[in-house]
Amino acid sequence: MRHFTHGLLTMRLLTMRLVTTFLVAMPVVAISVVAFVPVGRAIAEPAASEGSLKEIRETLDDAKQLIEDGKPGKAAARAAEASKAIEALAAEGTAPMAGLRSLWERCRSLRNDLELEGADVSGISLTPLKSANAKASGAKTAAPKTAAGKPAGKGMETAPPAAGAAKPAAAKATAKPAAKPGAKPALTFTAQVAPILSRHCGGCHIAGRKGGFQMVSYAGLMKTGVVQPGAGESSRLVEVILSGDMPRGGGKVSPEDLGVLLKWIDAGAPFDGPDPTAPIDGLARQATAPPSAVAPTKPIVAVKLNPGEVSFAADVAPVLIAQCVGCHDAMQPEANLSMVTLERLLRGGRGGSALVSGKGAESLLIKKIKGAGIEGQRMPLGKPPLADEVIATIQKWIDQGAKLDLLTPQTEMETLAAAGRSQKLPHEDLKKVRFRAGGSLWARAIPDDKAVAIERGDVLVSGNLSAAKMEDLADAAEAVADRLQEEIMGGKSPIIKGGVVVYGFAKGYDLSSFWQTVFSDDRPKGVTAGGGVLGDVVYAAVIPPTTDKSSGGKNDAEANTRVLLAEQMTTAALLGRGVPAWFAKGAGRAVAMKFEPKAGLVETWRRDLPAAVQRCGSPADFFSAHGDSVAMATVGGGFIGAIMPSVSRLEALVGQLDAGTPFDQAFINVFRSPPQQLFEAWVAQQAARGPRR
């Protein structure tokens, strides 16, 4: 039977290739062809919906190209055509929902881009997609539930679930038994798909970037768009294999391997591993290694160093940034070895593990920088060899067990190195480093608009506002910094060692450019401020609010500006201490609400809290910062404000953090319970209160 299946699939592949060749040679006419169908499917003419999906993708491609060509008006018209076609297919109920969701998300992303360009996007309809099964049966889908298990509010426009996400429950007649939590799909990316991609694509598109295309990880593969979840035969990855164009160099994808790829994509292209950014090569090695070769790994946590031990943050990370990260970056790492975080470094690359903990001389990293006992060239490539004392320091760090001494293994290398400097340098010297780096960050984000810089104590205010507004922002930032120092630091020291850089933006697109530079992502809709840490820069970025005269004076611009500054400066100071984002953002908002309780912005946050709780999702979503960023900030502020009746609680927590107590322990010491337990109780309390009027 196995040989029969193999032969049948091979015949279908040959049929598809012959038909493709025939079509290329023929004049363009309307015909039907036999489509390639993997084993287990009925052979039939291709569904009209598949052709329609392809046409919509091409329309969206046209719109994206028109944006790049500087023609946003024409791009908006094409995107509007695509959105109407998506609605029509969804109404028919014949197209795969996963494919429609993917196109819906692309259309939404284009609309956001066009909004930034100032184009008219009113014609781009984004009606939430509904399950075809539910529509056909006339069954009502269950409303999404909150962390407390209560139905979500009505009337909210939401994006369709991502491919592979759980669908809303339909009527009992169509419901299926729920999968067990944590259960892996029958066909897995890590064990079956990754080895195929590594074997057939690794040399050109994982280790390299042939043709401008690279897929280092699952996340990188999905960003390329060559995989359309739920539509295997329409995916570009399958098309180039079927056409024989890929892989090049003589190797061919077997019918069995192609069948696995099709089945995986048709199932929604799910990911079953712990980290979608993990290198595909590494996943493939782990999947194909004998069980005895896969050693269990313990989680890496920061530890206190013994006297005389080498600091990774202060002594090793700066060397890797200066000498290695340029080639071993996140997007196109040489030999698939990324060094942007300690976690990535420890994963290794195509050559295997870079480090052997406790054995520096045997580690590939040391061999490469020494240029001894290796294949290939000495590293760093194209630069002078590292000094002997620098190599000795790195080797000593590995010999000591390759310990992490600050923050987390997922922290960006630049941030780790900056944390090392912050420990070594005194406040005034560190302030010079931070403020100089703050000016460089502005120049990277907005190179065509030179910033005005005003230094006030431990705050550098930098922006492109008018001279008068810059002075107002500097006054407000200095006042907020002084109050934070008094309330949270007991008046003894600045809110963060080395000071804070406050950025003031005149327009939304300026903040969007800054956001893209910092996060490599679009600014979330509705977000007008942000705080965080990037390398040496601890920053608060704001678009200063303007007075809304129609609000009768409640929306006071000065008070709202102080609110945003207090929120983002507190958030940045806490993130600079390595606390989780959910706490830093929630505490930042809670502090701002206590500082300016009558500000119009604070009243808005209070009013929006019940709806935000409905949109927030599960406790796991909240603590992992997944979901609507605006809702998460509102919920975080409400939660932390409820368990922190006074800012003195935060002062106690910061004192413990600065004394070296890990966050989880410091939180329990101050709030007497784990955060998850407190959060679930708070959400249940919110649900019991019901919607506010």
- CATH number of the domain located at residue range(s) 425-689 in this protein: 1.10.390.10
Q: Mark out the alpha helices in 520-628 (DSSP H runs).
A: 557-575, 581-595, 600-616, 619-623
Mean pLDDT of 230-239: 86
Supply the pTM of this predicted model: 0.59
Residues 616, 153: Cα–Cα separation, whole Å: 12
Mean pLDDT of 581-598: 96
- Give how far Cα 197 sits from Cα of 217, 259, 284, 286, Å: 10, 13, 8, 14
Confidence (pLDDT) at 139: 38
Confidence (pLDDT) at 289: 61
Q: What is the token pair recorded at 390?
A: 């620098």
Q: Return all residues near 62 (Cβ < 8 A) that are at least 6 apart.
A: 75, 78
The count of C-alpha atoms lying within 13 angstroms of the C-alpha of 368, restricted to the half-sphere facing its C-beta, is 17
536, 432 contact by CB (below 8 A): no
Residues 300, 587: Cα–Cα separation, whole Å: 26
Q: Over the stretch 299-333, which tens digit does the pLDDT of each residue have?
A: 788 888 999 999 999 999 999 999 999 888 877 78
Q: Pick the closest to residue 336 from 244, 431, 446, 217 (CA basis).
A: 217
Torsion 76-80-82-86 (CA) sign: positive
Mean pLDDT of 327-340: 82
78, 63 contact by CB (below 8 A): yes
**Percent of the chain having pLDDT more than 90?**
44
Query: Strand, coil or helix: what is 241?
Result: helix
Judged by average pLDDT, the poorest of 4-13, 334-343, 393-402, 573-582 is: 4-13
Mean pLDDT of 374-395: 91
Q: Which residue has the higher pLDDT, 507 or 161?
A: 507
The whole-chain average pLDDT of the chain stands at: 80
Confidence (pLDDT) at 186: 65
Q: Return all residues near 425 (Cβ < 8 A) that are at least 6 apart.
A: 433, 498
397, 315 contact by CB (below 8 A): yes
Confidence (pLDDT) at 33: 32
Chain centroid to Cα 407, Å, comes to: 19
Q: Over the stretch 634-654, which tens digit does the pLDDT of each residue have?
A: 999 999 999 999 999 999 999
Q: What is the token pair recorded at 692?
A: 């506010």
168 class by beta-carbon count within 10 Å (0-12 exposed, 13-18 middle, 19+ buried): middle
Q: Over the stretch 18-70, which tens digit does the pLDDT of each residue have?
A: 333 433 343 333 333 333 333 333 333 344 555 688 888 889 889 888 888 88
Q: b/e per residue, 381-392, with b = 16+ CB within 10 A?
A: eeeeebeeebbe
118, 124 contact by CB (below 8 A): no
Q: Which residue has the higher pLDDT, 113 or 301?
A: 301
Confidence (pLDDT) at 47: 46
Q: Pick the closest to residue 97 from 167, 45, 18 (CA basis).
A: 167
Confidence (pLDDT) at 27: 38
pLDDT band at 542 (very low <50, low <70, confident <90, very high): very high
Q: Over the stretch 417-466, which tens digit does the pLDDT of each residue have?
A: 999 999 889 999 999 999 999 999 999 999 999 999 999 999 999 999 99
Q: Return all residues near 46 (Cβ < 8 A) that are at least 6 apart.
A: 32, 33, 35, 233
pLDDT band at 249 (very low <50, low <70, confident <90, very high): low
Q: Over the stretch 611-639, which tens digit does the pLDDT of each residue have?
A: 999 888 788 889 987 778 899 999 999 99
Confidence (pLDDT) at 142: 38
Confidence (pLDDT) at 50: 55
Confidence (pLDDT) at 98: 63
Mean pLDDT of 152-172: 35
Q: Over the stretch 354-363, which tens digit does the pLDDT of each residue have?
A: 999 999 999 9
Judged by average pLDDT, the poorest of 108-122, 220-234, 615-629 is: 108-122
Q: Is pLDDT above 70 for 134? A: no
pLDDT band at 95 (very low <50, low <70, confident <90, very high): confident
Residues 691, 69: Cα–Cα separation, whole Å: 47
Residues 570, 590: Cα–Cα separation, whole Å: 10
pLDDT band at 559 (very low <50, low <70, confident <90, very high): very high
**Percent of the chain having pLDDT more than 70?**
78
Q: Is pLDDT above 80 for 176? A: no
Domain boundaries, the chain: 47-135, 203-292, 312-418, 425-689
Q: Over the stretch 652-663, which tens digit does the pLDDT of each residue have?
A: 999 999 998 989
